Amino acid sequence: MKTGIQIQFLLLAWAMGGVVHAVDYRAYAPVVNVEPVIETRYKPVSRRVCTEPDAAAREFNAVAATIGEDIRRQARLWQQQQRCRTVTEQRAHKDISGYRVTYRYGGETETTWLSYDPGEQMPVNVNLSPLH
């Protein structure tokens, strides 16, 4: 209803010969299509990689007094022979960076980019100015 009053005011001012400035108002246009714009970004991810010692390298010269001591010696030797390093890889991560929106207004179909999904209709600015 507000836009109808603005149009009537413009027509009245124009008919009276007064100075009329352009007026902006907001209308809503039906959305025809929305496509998410997906951007691939790469992030570094680090992980620890360890090589296992060769089973033949696990030799014991002395006989352990107990089974528990033997297991502890094997574990220490295993840890000493294990080689670890940090590996950094680039992992792809997909993000929606915006939306390509196609809408219809005044018999025209337009496409624009928005940072959000507008839904079934979107606000549009309309500029009214008198004809000269």
- pLDDT at site 86: 92
Hunting for tokens 């030799």 — which residue is that?
A: 59
Please give the pLDDT value at position 20.
47
pLDDT: is 107 or 25 the higher one? Answer: 107
Mean pLDDT of the chain: 78
Q: How far apart are CA 127 and CA 91, in angstroms?
A: 47
Q: How many domains does the chain have?
A: 1
Per-residue model confidence as pLDDT tens digits over 7-57: 555 555 555 544 445 566 789 999 999 999 999 999 999 999 887 766 555
Regarding predicted confidence, which is higher, 54 or 60? 54
Query: What was the pLDDT predicted at 9?
Result: 53
Per-residue confidence (pLDDT) for residue 111, from 0 to 100: 95
Residue ranges making up the domain that contains 103 = 2-128
Number of H helices, E strands in the chain: 2, 4
